[in-house]
Amino acid sequence: MKNIFGAFFGFIFGVVFAAIGFCVVYFFGLPIVTQAKASLEWPQVSGVITSSRVQSRRDNDGTVYSSEVTYDYTVDGKKMSGETVYFGDNVSSSSRTTASKTVSKYPTGKEIQVYYSPESPDECVIEPGTTWSSYFVLILGSIFGVVGLLVALGTGFTLFGGGLAILGGAAGLLASKRRDTPQNFGMKNTARSKMSPPVDNASRYNQPSVDGDHDDGFDIT
């Protein structure tokens, strides 16, 4: 029974894990890749870097680094601001090198070409197309989803087998009770008949006399 409960909680964990992973893929990973590919066809305008620096923060694994680049551009007379250098550039690293290269490539005051979405001009990027980091969220979510699915399938088979075993045991117990009930009833009736045999009162009074000389008639000489 403990194995059944363990399998049940493992199944729930696997389903939740898989659901989270596939949600990350669908709502975050795929849109990033789709948008990155679409940006190759976006129109472009001139822009200028307004801020460029390496940002650091501490987490459980230590200090991680990322680049923070902002730029301004104008579309149809409306001034806009963007922060995306390439799709997937928000991935932090324990190495300062990648962030420093991006900051060095785009120093403050540098003139650039900005690609923007025609449907939503506030969606923009400096380097259109996909890079390895564009697929990072997609790959990470897929790993979560596949691992969770495998756990759910493995524990699901265990639950299925345990359920069949329980049903089989219950069916066998029920069948055993059905077989035992008539037999016990018959045994009780047999025992009762042996303990108190029926008495035939009529035969007791109609038995012939064992005294051969007894005669109830009259002797007429």
48 and 150 in a common domain:
no
More confident: 112 or 13: 112
- 1 domain-assigned: yes
End of a domain among 127, 150, 180? 127
End of a domain among 127, 153, 180? 127
- 211 domain-assigned: no
Query: Helices (DSSP H) in the chain: which residue ranges?
Result: 2-24, 30-38, 97-105, 136-195, 201-205
- 139 domain-assigned: yes
95 and 76 in a common domain:
yes
**What is the number of residues in the chain?**
221
75 and 94 in a common domain:
yes
164 is in which domain, residue-wise? 1-40+133-168
Question: What is the pLDDT at residue 76?
Answer: 93
Segment 152-202, tens digit of pLDDT? 888 877 766 555 556 656 666 676 767 666 555 455 555 455 555 555 555
End of a domain among 127, 158, 183? 127
Q: Give the distance, in angstroms, between the CA of residue 2 and the centroid of all CA atoms in the same chain.
A: 20
Q: pLDDT-based confidence at 206, cuts 50/70/90? A: low
- 104 domain-assigned: yes
107 and 48 in a common domain:
yes
94 and 151 in a common domain:
no
53 and 18 in a common domain:
no
CB contact at 8 A, 16 and 148: yes
- Could you identify the residue written with the tokens 């923009």? 124
In eight-state DSSP terms, residue 11 is H
